[in-house]
Every structure is written in C-alpha cells, then in structure tokens.
C-alpha cells in the first residue's frame, strides 16, 4: 500500500516503516559521530523502549557504548491492510541495525506492568546475558493494571485545587486560543500516581533483584520533566507532578536499599513526543522554545539529550552532577535564564496572526510527523510498501 499521514489532534493513525527506519538510522549516525563513552554500561534493559527518550536510550546504549540491549514496549504490528504503530517499526528498524552491527538486541512486546512480562524478560536475561548493569525506565502509558490487585488505573492531566486557564495552540488549525482545565476530582490524583509514579519502576528492580540478575554497581534511571512556571499548574503542580514526586521518592527508596548512587531521576527537556503532544498548553510552549533554542544554537532532540545524559553523567567514569534535590538536569539549557526570558516574552505576545513569526510551529509539525516516519529525506512516500514487518528476534 501507499502510506500517507493521517492526523487527528495529537494522534497520527498511520506510520511509515521505511520512514521510521530512516529516522532510526539518522539517530544511529548521530551517536556514532560522537566521542566514545569512558565507562558505558554493557547490558542494558530499557522499559518503554519504542519511542521518545526510551528509544533514544536504547540507541545510545547500543551504538554509543556497544551494549547488549533488551527493550520492553507495548506496540501494534502492521497487518496486510493496516499500518503498525510507529513504535513497532522503530523497534524492528533498531533490531535490524543492531544485529547488522553485531550487537545483541531482543525485544518484548506486551504489558510491561505485568508480572508475566517481568518473568519473561528475567528468563531471557538469565539465559542470554546473565545480569544487567543498567535499567532505563521510560514508560508513558495512560493506564496501568496493578499486577497484585488486578485493578486498572487511569491517569489524568489536570490541575489540583482550582481550574487552570491559559493560552493554547490548536495544532490542527494553527490557531492560538485559550483552554480551561478543571481540577482533579475524587481519586484522580491517586490514580495518576499509580500509573505514572515510581511503583512499577520499584517492582521491576525488586523482581530483578529477587532473580539475582543485577550486576554489582548497576545503575537505574527514570525520566521526568519540570518545565517553566507557566506550565506548573498543568504539569509540575498538577496530577502529573504528584506522580513525578512519587518517582523521586522511589529513587530515594532504591538508593537506600541498593546503595547511594544507584537510582537517578533525570529531568529532561521539553520535546515533541507522542506523550507531550497530548498535554494542553505544552505544544505552544514547545513551538516557542524551539525557535528560541534553534536561534541560540543549543536546541537538542531526544537523541542529543540522551547522548549528553550518558556522556556527561551515566557513562562518564564519574558520578553524575546532581541538583539540590538529587536529580540529574539535562533540561539545563532549556531552563537557562536567557532562553526562558525570550520564551516568556514571546508567550506574552503570541497570537494566531504572528504565530509563524514568533514560534517554530512549522518545526513542531515537522517533528511530530517524523515521529511516525513521515518527512524523512531519501524515503519515497509515493512508492508501495509492505506494512507487515517482523522483529528479527521473532517476538
């Protein structure tokens, strides 16, 4: 079939296999162009490995550090009549590239929250690798079924205590409008913490420990975001913020159990991802931020961010540099005073009429389509392509 993008709001319902492969290769090429790490982990599991920061973590680990990698994700394979998800095609492309490079790579497609998935992954670690020295936790799911209770929880993107009104961007029409979001009610905060907090991260580490597959001196990292004050009500001080607080508490508990310097939370930059596109207000902020940082010459995408995380912190041969709360901050360039001052000024002045002048909305849209394999150089989007692609490992 000929595959074209079909978008609806923050969702693209199609993905292009060759385009996704080209996107993966461009990230691999970037990593290979960078200096080698001085102390790279060699056996890495990435939980949430198919898109965004998790995918970048797997690419950097493998092609920057020569690591054997296991990826866990929940994606949809293509069929004869329908395309698979971008994450599926990303993972197929990654595994093909890794194996061509002589690197061990195995993927597991299913519910990462379940005990069954943990057991299956652990059995493979025992059989193939023996132990793991780095665990990257990068899940972004709207719901989670507790493996012990069996109850399914759903997360919400809401402020706490009072409604929140702010400028917003309709990414379908390019209209700068306003949005009002009502505060969380009932158990919505607790449910969001259940889904997006650190409970499952801790369960993974407990399962790996009980199975005896954690290497001496292993490290683990999970990803978070803080952002500017204008997004605090919907993010940092909202329901997601409560989940991220729990994530940091989980890191503290794991450091108590396994030793200080084992578990880290990395605060990353705002980027166009499938998850960030769903958060009100954020697409407008990202569009303004991209323009400012590109003009300043310090813009980074997922792969550049994670390359810097490993080169400066996780694989540098020394201890990561932490803020007062014990977090790694690779959002430091985004949160610099000059960058934030410029974004704030643009935010105050942006309208539908001057959006193209004050923002990089065109870049935002381009990045969004690239997530699904569209707009990549060298890909013939008019050619027929087969939407059915298999992982080389057969999973």
Query: What gap in Å lies between CA 275 and CA 273, rounded to an integer?
Result: 5
Q: How many CB atoms lie within 10 A of CB 256?
A: 11
Closest CA to 215 of 137, 126, 139, 138: 126
State the sign of the Cα–Cα–Cα–Cα dihedral 159, 330, 53, 290: positive
What lies within 8 Å, CB to CB, of 392 at 6+ separation is 92, 95, 96, 99
89 neighbors 107 (Cβ within 8 angstroms) = no
Query: What gap in Å lies between CA 340 and CA 363, rounded to an integer?
Result: 19
**Could you say which of 153, 235, 285, 290 is catalytic?**
235
The answer to whether 235 is a known catalytic residue is yes
Backbone dihedral region of 181: left (phi > 0), alpha (psi from -120 to 50 degrees) or beta?
beta
What lies within 8 Å, CB to CB, of 39 at 6+ separation is 315, 316, 317
| Residues with a known catalytic role | 235
């Amino acid at each position: 079939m000929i595959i074209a993008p079909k978008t609806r709001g923050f969702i693209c319902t199609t993905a292009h296999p060759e385009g996704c492969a080209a996107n993966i290769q461009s990230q691999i090429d970037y990593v290979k162009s960078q200096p080698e790490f001085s102390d790279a982990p060699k056996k890495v599991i990435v939980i949430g490995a198919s898109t965004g920061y998790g995918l970048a973590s797997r690419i950097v680990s493998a092609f920057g550090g020569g690591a054997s990698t296991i990826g866990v994700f929940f994606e949809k394979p293509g069929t004869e009549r329908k395309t698979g998800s971008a994450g599926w095609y990303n993972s197929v492309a990654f595994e093909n590239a890794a194996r061509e490079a002589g690197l061990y790579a195995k993927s597991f497609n299913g519910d990462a929250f379940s005990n069954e998935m943990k057991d299956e992954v652990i059995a493979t670690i025992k059989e193939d690798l023996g132990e793991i020295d780095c665990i990257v936790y990068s899940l972004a799911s709207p719901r989670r079924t507790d493996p012990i209770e069996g109850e399914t929880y759903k997360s919400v993107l809401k402020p706490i205590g009072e409604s929140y009104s702010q400028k917003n961007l309709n990414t379908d029409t390019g209209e700068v409008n306003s949005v009002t979001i009502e505060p969380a009610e009932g158990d919505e905060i607790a449910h969001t913490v259940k889904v997006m907090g650190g409970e499952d991260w801790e369960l993974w580490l407990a399962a790996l420990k009980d199975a005896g597959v954690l290497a001496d001196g292993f490290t683990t990292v999970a990803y978070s975001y803080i952002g500017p004050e204008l997004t605090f009500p919907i993010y940092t001080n909202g329901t997601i913020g409560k989940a991220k607080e729990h994530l940091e508490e989980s890191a503290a508990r794991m450091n108590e159990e396994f030793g200080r310097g084992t578990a880290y939370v990395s605060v990353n930059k705002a980027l166009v991802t499938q998850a960030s596109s769903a958060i009100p207000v954020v697409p407008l902020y990202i569009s303004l931020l991209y323009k400012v940082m590109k003009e300043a010459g310090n813009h980074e995408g997922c792969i550049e961010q994670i390359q810097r995380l490993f080169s400066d912190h996780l694989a540098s041969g020394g201890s990561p540099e932490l803020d007062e709360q014990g977090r790694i901050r690779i959002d430091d360039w985004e949160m610099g005073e000059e960058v934030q001052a410029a974004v704030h000024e643009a935010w105050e002045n942006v309208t539908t009429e001057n959006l193209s002048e004050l923002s990089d909305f065109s870049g935002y849209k381009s990045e969004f389509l690239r997530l699904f394999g569209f707009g990549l150089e060298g890909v013939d989007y008019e050619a027929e392509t087969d939407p059915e692609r298999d992982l080389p490992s057969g999973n």
